[in-house]
Structures are given as structure tokens and as C-alpha cells.
Amino acid sequence: MYQFFSLTTYALVTIPMKAKYLLLGVAFITGCFRAYGQALVDSKPPNIICILVDDLGYGDLACQGATDMQTPHIDHLSNQGLTFTNFYANSTVCSPSRASLLTGKYPDMVGVPGVIRQDVKNNWGELAEDAVFISEVLKTKGYQTGIIGKWHLGLERPSIPNEKGFDFFKGFLGDMMDDYWSHRRGGINWMRYNKEEIDPKGHATDIFTDWTIDYLNERTKEEQPFFLYLAYNAPHFPIQPPQEWLERVKNRESDLSEKRAKNVAFIEHLDFNLGRVMQTLEETGLDENTLVVFTSDNGGALRFAQSNGKLRGGKQDMYEGGIRVPTFFFWKNKIEPGTVTKNFAMLMDLFPTFCEVAGVKPVQHIDGMSILPTILGEKQTTDDRYVFWVRREGGQYGGQSYYAARYRDFKILQNTPYEPIQYFNIKKDEYEENALESSNDEIYQAIRSQLQEHIRKAGGIPWQKK
């Protein structure tokens, strides 16, 4: 519009009357086309990048209170976007949380109550064939869909990315890597380019970032919007930072234990790579119309010196430290920089949120709710619902499930199938230090009743590999 008014002023002052009218008309039409073009850009469905890291503790970022760690790039997402202080994974471990993020449903409602593994005798889930993925829904809106990194929802057809709506897959089908340089699990190479086995060289975090940068550069050549699910294995154990990163931390933080220093270096290396992704978004101009979400699949593992801040417990626990995760949303010119929300949300809420962002309706019943109003700074109530967490596991858990459930500020939980259920008011007792008396408590009974109904429904979903 500035150019339009400048041209108009020039015409009125310097040229004859007929030419003035002609030039004014041309300028007006040009301005209209420019405005129309901008409207087309603004109306184009935004790109969506969902970054899921593995086992990142609630207290393991500088912006989350870590004083021994430098994470400027993830901190930048927080400073320039929206921070959720009450965002939760759907489980205490990997596979169930990933299933919820990608289907919008509770994990046990899509056949993934526990960890999917290559060892059948220690496998506690099998993805339901009729589970509808966010990638499949976004494709109906014309999105190109990609996943780079860790899958962990199945090792063979039909439970692999290219059979679940992803046009592009370059990453790791399995669960954890035994080594971040060799990329094997139990001696098996699960690295794939779509359905083809590949054997890349280098640290997995660097490799996944390189592939992401290549993917983003390719997307700049296309008009089609894209959805990218970038799932890093880090900082899941084994804690293996590149040696130069570990030496840097040791020189800077000389008082740290070896175990903690490794974890700090591992996360700082991850942060550096996230910075590379965000730099590519900016350099390509994709950041002008891209929603970026950063979150984790569960809390940090305490035995590897990961930190969940003041929250009680860690990975595998239903205490807050096991399920509340650091989460940030960045959307240039859409999200007010540096904002914070206390609203409750879960990984399964991302599915309907992405659908609303893209302007498409889910094609199935889902358990999550869209939190787009919260993201855009609007008033929204998100905790007026009963929500549930589940994990089914072998070993010390005996092949049984254990649960947590919540309604508003009240939460019940157990950390093994064999312990009594504990009852907390999370608002008044955030660190779960003082369990409430549950007998004759109406809220407790209501939550127990709702959890029982959820367990009954989930009992109809097969999950065992044949």
C-alpha cells in the first residue's frame, strides 16, 4: 500500500490529467492484485512442524530453571512463543505417548498400552489397524506429510509410517538405540528411507537434523503445505554426547558429576541442532507461515541424572515428574511472544489442534480437544474433563497395567499395579507431598468411577502380537 500511495502522489503532481487518471487506475489495480496475492498467502494452510524429543525432563532446560545448562535455541522458542506450564504426555514411556500424539486418542484405545518392542515376549502393544493418524487426515487437505526420526509404533506392515499416511519417512523404526553412532537395537538396523534399509554414518541427532534441513529446503520448491513430525531419539539413554560437547561442559561446569555432565552435554547438543532447524526455517522464509511445536514423550529418567525440577518422580512414574513435560508453541505473527499459559493440555490434544489449524475435521471420534484458542491467546477452559494415563509393562510390573486419572485439580495415581492408589490436589500440592484422605470423598469416587469405565472400554481393544 505504501508503493500505491507513493505512485499516486507522483501522478497528481507531475503528469497531465488524462495520464493521471490512467496511472491512478493502473496503480489501483496493481494494489488490488497485491492485496489479493497477500490474502492468498495468508489464507494458505500453515505448515506444521511437531518436534518430539525423548525423555526430556521438565527441569532440563535453562528456560525451565536449569542453572547448569545452556539451551539458547529452545529458550528462544519459549521467549518468542507460548510456554505451557501444565502440558502432559499421555504416558510415562515412549510408544503410548507417541500413539496418542498421532491419533488423538488414549493409547490403550488404539492398541498401545505399553512399549512396542522387537522381542515378542517383552512387547506390550500392537497398533490397531483402524487407527487414523493425523498424517492421513492432513493429506485430505492437501498436505505433504513427513516423519524424520524415531517411529516406535511398529516394525512391519501395516504399522509403519508409509502405511499410516506419511509420504516421506527417514528415520528409525525401533525403540531406543543401543548406540547413537551405530544406530542398532539388539544388533538389528532399523534405519529406513521409506521402506528401504539404510545405514547412515554419524551421531543420530546430527543425522536427523541434516535430513530435516534437506527436507525443508525441498519444501521451499513446492506450494503444497506440509506437516513434519520430527522425533529425536535424544536425550533418551544411552547418554552419548559427542566428546567435544562433553569437554565443553566439563570445562564450564567443573562441579558436575560425570553422569550429570554427560546429560547436560547431550541436551545442549540437541539444542544446537534444533537451532539449525530453526535457522533453516528463517533462511528459507518458511517461518512466515509455520506453526512449530516442541514437546517430550515423558519426563526425564532420574537414574541418568536427568532433572524434572521440583516435580516428584520421573520417567515410568505417574507422579508429575513422569508425565508433565516442557512444551512450547512458536507461530510467527500469530502467537504473542513470551506468553505463558497455565491451561491443562496433553499430547492427544495436538491431533485436533493441528486439524483446526489446517481447516479440516477429524474423520473419527478422538479423545483430545483442540487447544487452538489457548495458543492464540483466547480464553479457554481445558480442564473440565476426566483424563487418564496408562502403562502396561512386564518385568517388575508383571504384565499388568497401572494408571493415573485427573479431573480439574484432583488426581489419583499409582506407580505400579501393586501399590494403593494415591489422591492429590495438584493445585494446592503441586509436588505431591501430602496425599489426601480418599474415603467418602465424592470427587475421588467420581474419578475412580470414570477410570473404571475407561478401563472397561479399553478392554475391548486387542493389543497383543499374535
Please tell me the predicted confidence (pLDDT) of residue 166.
98
| Distances from the Cα of 240 to the Cα of 71, 234, 259, angstroms | 17, 9, 11
The most distant pair of C-alpha atoms in the chain lies apart, rounded to whole Å, by: 92
Please state the pTM of the whole predicted model: 0.90
Q: Can you tell me the distance from the alpha carbon of 366 to that of 359, in angstroms, rounded to the nearest whole number?
A: 16
Mean pLDDT (the chain) is: 92
Helix 72-79 × helix 258-284 angle, to 10°: 60
Q: Can you tell me the distance from the alpha carbon of 165 to that of 178, in angstroms, rounded to the nearest whole number?
A: 28
What are the residue boundaries of the structural domains of the chain, listed by start? 2-41, 46-375, 386-458
**Cα–Cα nearest to 267, from 424, 6, 63:** 63
Please tell me the predicted confidence (pLDDT) of residue 381.
98
Please tell me the predicted confidence (pLDDT) of residue 19.
47
Task: Record the cell numbers describing residue 228, joined without a space.
Answer: 513434519
The residues of the chain scoring below 70 in pLDDT are 1-43
Amino acid at 359: G
Cβ-contact 104, 368 below 8 angstroms: yes
CA angle 92, 456, 387 (to 5 degrees): 45
Q: Can you tell me the distance from the alpha carbon of 57 to that of 199, in angstroms, rounded to the nearest whole number?
A: 30
Please tell me the predicted confidence (pLDDT) of residue 376.
97
386-458: which CATH architecture? Answer: 2-Layer Sandwich (3.30)
Q: Can you tell me the distance from the alpha carbon of 23 to that of 27, in angstroms, rounded to the nearest whole number?
A: 6
Please tell me the predicted confidence (pLDDT) of residue 364.
82
Please tell me the predicted confidence (pLDDT) of residue 6.
37
Return the percent helix, strand and coil in the chain, to nearest 5: 40, 20, 45
Q: Tell whether omega for the bond before 420 is within 30 degrees of 0, i.e. cis.
A: no
Name the one residue in this structure whose C-alpha cell is 505431591.
Answer: 432
- Quick one: DSSP state of residue 275? H
47-53, strands of its sheet edge to edge = 196-197, 191-193, 168-172, 144-150, 226-231, 47-53, 290-296, 327-331, 82-88, 339-346
- Fold of the 46-375 domain: Alkaline Phosphatase, subunit A (3.40.720)
DSSP string across 79-123: HTSEEEEEEE-SSSSHHHHHHHHHHSS-GGGGT-SB---SSGGG-
Please tell me the predicted confidence (pLDDT) of residue 410.
98
**Cα–Cα nearest to 348, from 315, 320, 388:** 388
Please tell me the predicted confidence (pLDDT) of residue 8.
38
